[in-house]
Structure formats: structure tokens, C-alpha cells
Amino acid sequence: MSESMGKNTAGELERDTIEELIRTAVDQLAYSYAPYSNFKVGAALLAGDGRIFTGCNIENAAYTPSNCAERTAFFKAVSEGVRDFRAICIVGGKGGNPTGYVAPCGVCRQVMMEFCDPETFRIILAYGRENCRIFRLKDLMPEGFGPGDLNP
């Protein structure tokens, strides 16, 4: 596995954990519902307790009601009472074939800000099963607005 991390590190994530998240996210591509864009995305969200919650993108003919893979995974976890997260892996591409690194959209980044520590939460962007880039949430959401900003 090739790993490009820039100025940040994988932190406490073990190589085996990263590989498992990549495999799980790639497997989610098969469940994607993307009849309009044919751009399939899979996600694997690692909770603090070690459980992995999965997600895929779900499109809608009206577009606005569509849901990204990342938010699908977060909403599944939160709906089961989980609020502690360590990392998420995201993969995607046309026809379900990873064609490059797929970063989370702004809405997904904002959902991550709601539930994750920007200093420690890791976002793994994977290109298939072989290559990945790892970022901290604060690197992809600098000066982000989160729950702490609402405290007096």
C-alpha cells in the first residue's frame, strides 16, 4: 500500500485497520444507487469502539434528496447511538471503479465537524485497495464551524 500523508500522519491508526477500512469501503461500491451520475461512492466509518459502519451514495432523480456515502455511514451510526468516531475511508469512481481520490463534499465535512474532533479524526481517501492519502479533519475543514463555536 502506498501512503501519501503530506504534513500529517496516520496517528493511532494501525496499517491493518487502514487496509480493513479500504476493503470495506470498496465493498460498499456494490450497493451504491447511482443511476444518474453512474459515480459510485463507498465509505467505511470507524467508531471509537472499533465497530465499522458502512455507507454508499444514494441518488434521487430530483438530485437534492440524494445522500453521500459518508453521511449514510454517519447517520447509520448516530441512529444506533454512536457518537465517537476515529476515521472514515472514502472510495469512488465511475461505474464503481475507483478512478482517483474522492474527497468528501462540503456538506459531509460539516457533518464530520458535528461529530468528530478535527484534530484527531482521520479521513482516508483511497484509490482502490492499493493507495491512500490520510488527512485530519482540520486539514480538510480549516477554520470549520462546529458545536464548540456555539458555547458562550
* Span 7-59, pLDDT tens digits: 334 457 999 999 999 999 999 999 999 999 999 999 999 999 999 999 999 99
What's the whole-model pTM score?
0.90
**Residue 94 pLDDT:** 94
**Residue 128 pLDDT:** 65
* Span 57-77, pLDDT tens digits: 999 999 999 999 999 999 999
Q: 118-123 contacts: CB < 8 A, separation 24 or more?
A: 118/144, 118/146, 120/11, 120/86, 121/85, 121/86, 121/87, 121/88, 122/10, 122/11, 122/13, 122/86, 122/87, 122/88, 123/87, 123/88, 123/90
* Span 97-143, pLDDT tens digits: 988 999 999 999 999 999 999 999 999 999 866 689 999 999 999 98
Per annotation, catalytic residue among 59, 70, 114, 119: 70
Residue 70 annotated as catalytic: yes
When the pLDDT of each residue in the chain is averaged and rounded to a whole number, the result is 91
